[in-house]
Amino acid sequence: MLINGTFQCGPAPKFPENTTSCCPVNGLWSSWSGYGRNDNDTLWLRSRKCVSEEAGCACFGNSAETKEDCPCRAMVDITKVAIGTGSYGVYPTQYTINETSCEYYGTLVLSTNPVKGNYPCNYGCFGDLCYNYTSIIRYEVPNNPGVASELRVSDCSSSDGNLVSFMCDLNALYWKLMYNGQYVNGWAQMNLSPA
């Protein structure tokens, strides 16, 4: 029934102390907001609202959650997915995360060194001349686990230090690949066979 402009369970009992409440267990919460920085810029914070309170049904639980570190899901190891059935290998994933800005930077190997078995780039030999082109990463997306997508990321050079970049989506809590905007579960840089 509608009482004073709000929906109520009815009919209203004569002796409320002897009846079971018609409120939902733990109340009714809104969805969580996306994360943002708190006023002191020291923590990540998200909140939700008790939407059943106006109808006299209290909520139980926390209306806010905080995290010190970036709240995005951790990247998963996709080595087996990245290699697949091909003759590729992968480099150990090296990265840094800026916990304040929620940015993730993966360090790429860019220089070929046959002695160390490093062939990070498209590699081709014509006679006595060998050429490097671009480095390649493979990554897995949340809606297609177990399948690797491929992306040519960075021009190769004689020195290392280039990065592949991701930004945390503070609502979905997935890392977003900055090159194409796709959500990513995990990634790996390919070590390409010269043969």
- In the block, tokens 């109340």 appear at 27
Region at 136 (left for phi over 0; alpha for psi -120 to 50; beta for the rest): beta
What backbone phi and psi angles, to 5 degrees, belong to 159?
-125, 150
Measured in whole angstroms, how far is the alpha carbon of residue 97 from the centre of its chain?
12
Q: How far apart are CA 129 and CA 123, in angstroms?
A: 11
The pLDDT of residue 194 is 67
Q: pLDDT tens for residues 139-192?
A: 999 999 999 999 888 777 656 668 899 999 999 999 999 999 999 999 999 988
Entry field: residues in the chain: 195
Residue 32 has what DSSP assignment? P
pLDDT-based confidence at residue 8 (cuts at 50, 70, 90) = low
**How many other CB atoms sit within 10 Å of the CB of residue 105?**
16
The pLDDT of residue 19 is 47
The pLDDT of residue 18 is 46
CA nearest to 104, candidates 73, 145, 66, 144: 73
Q: pLDDT tens for residues 77-127?
A: 999 999 887 767 899 999 999 999 999 999 998 887 888 888 888 766 656
CA nearest to 156, candidates 181, 137, 134: 134
Quote the longest CA-to-CA distance of the chain.
96
Q: How far apart are CA 70 and CA 10, in angstroms?
A: 46
- Partners of 186 in beta bridges: 140
The token pair that represents 55 in the structure block: 């109808």
CA distance to 50, 131, 134, 174, per residue, from 151 (Å): 44, 19, 10, 18
Q: pLDDT tens for residues 53-72?
A: 988 899 999 999 999 999 99
| Residue scoring higher pLDDT (195 or 82) | 82
Q: pLDDT tens for residues 12-44?
A: 555 445 445 678 888 899 999 999 999 999 999
The pLDDT of residue 50 is 94
